[in-house]
Amino acid sequence: MIEVRALTKTYGGQRAVNELSFTAPAGKVTGFLGPNGAGKTTTFRCLLGLVAPTSGAALIDGCAYRDLASPRHHVGAVLESTGFHPARTGRNHLRVIARAAGFDAPRIDPLLELVGLQSASDRRVGGYSLGMRQRLAIAAAMLGDPEVLVLDEPANGLDPEGVSWIRRLMRIWADEGRTVVVSSHLLAEVAQAVDRVVIIRDGTLVTEADIADLTADRVTVRVDRTDAMLDALQAAGADHELLADGAISIAARDTAEIGGIAARAGVTVTELSRRGTAETLEAMYLAVTEAGGQ
């Protein structure tokens, strides 16, 4: 499990991450979403001990990264900034990490096969494509068979087939009980694969929710007199929320029920629809990215 508690990181007076708190439980794929520059990478670097937080903490199973007894056994990470020595072969890159981590019998060959690099393993990384480097980084993260996986924009540089491969991998890892956190600035890349979302903007938490909680289908209604409709919903005891675009989102399965409330309140319905999980998530994320773009 990953716990981020009131994490703040300041760079030259600028708050890259601001009092951020969230958790990513074991057995779930947590999508860490936010527009570019929202603080996702900085949060990950704090979590992985590469950057010292200004205040707050980012813990892995209750421990700071540097206090983990065997970090590579515990956590596997794929970071955007990670580089490779161009003259080193893919296999030797993995051998170096295995040696430094003290793994006795590193399972390098099966890993190379898993990521589809077995035929390129003895070529220098300098000649690898972006996608091949990403696959090598994933193999490196898996070397210690870690319980926690942290992936920073892993889909970058991968073709559509590679992206769906990453999704399947994440699903398998989570189903094996591992903690998986994946960051992305594109919801569509991860939407189908995540069990939980943490959305941030400007280093601050916007939403943290399980997809299961979003699946309680919601009805969206647009009316001529929004205030009257909000009062009527309040009176009816319906769990509702006014969306940024002026529509009202209501936790309900039945459009007829909501139409009835509107009729009794004497407001005119201009739009009435049911939103599934995907749409709800998309609307939620769109509101965040649009606000961030302003």
Partner 1 sequence: MIHLVAAEGLKLRTTRLLLGMIPAAVAISLAGVAGTVLVHGGGDRAVLESAKGVRQVLSATGAGAILVLVVGIIISAGEYRYGTADDTFLTTPRRHQVLAAKLAVGSGLGLAVGVVTSLASIGIAAVLYSTEGATFPLDDAEVWLTLAGTLVYTALFAMLGVALGSLVRNQVLAVTGALAWFAVVEHALVNLAPDIGRWLPAAAGQAIIRTPLDGLLSPLAGTALLATYAVAIALSGIRVAATRDA
The binding site for partner 1 (CB under 8 A) comprises 45, 48-52, 65-66, 68, 71-72, 75, 77, 79, 81-89, 92, 95-97, 99-102, 140
Whether the Cβ atoms of residue 82 and residue 152 lie closer than 8 Å to each other: no
CB of 52 to partner 1, least distance (A): 7
The residue (of 102 and 276) whose beta carbon lies closer to partner 1 is 102
Residue with smaller CB distance to partner 1, 71 or 154: 71
| Least distance between partner 1 and beta carbon 77 (Å) | 6
CB 129 to partner 1: min, Å: 17
Closest CB to partner 1 among residues 72, 218: 72
Q: Which residues of 15-43 are buried (b: 16+ CB within 10 A; e: fewer)?
A: bbbbebebebeeebbbbbbbbeebbbbbb
Residue 186 makes CB contacts below 8 A (sequence gap 6+) with 155
Closest to partner 1 by CB, 203 vs 275, is 203
Q: Are 60 and 74 in contact (CB under 8 A)?
A: yes
CB nearer partner 1, residue 100 or residue 213: 100
| In the complex, minimum distance from the CB of residue 172 to partner 1, in angstroms, rounded to a whole number | 22
Closest distance to partner 1 from the beta carbon of 173 (Å):
18
| Shortest CB 268 distance to partner 1, Å | 57
Choice between 10 and 226, CB closer to partner 1 = 10
- Tell the smallest beta-carbon distance from residue 146 to partner 1 (Å): 11
Nearest residue (CB) to partner 1, 35 versus 76:
76
| Full 3-state SS string of the chain | CEEEEEEEEEECCEEEEEEEEEEECCCCEEEEECCCCCCHHHHHHHHCCCCCCCEEEEEECCECHHHCCCHHHHEEEECCCCCCCCCCEHHHHHHHHHHHHCCCCCCHHHHHHHCCCHHHCCCEHHHCCHHHHHHHHHHHHHCCCCCEEEEECCCCCCCHHHHHHHHHHHHHHHHCCCEEEEEECCHHHHCCCCCEEEEEECCEEEEEEEHHHHCCCEEEEEECCHHHHHHHHHHHCCCEEECCCCCEEEECCCHHHHHHHHHHHCCCEEEEEEECHHHHHHHHHHHHHHHHHC
* Residue placing its CB nearer to partner 1 in the complex, 129 or 268: 129
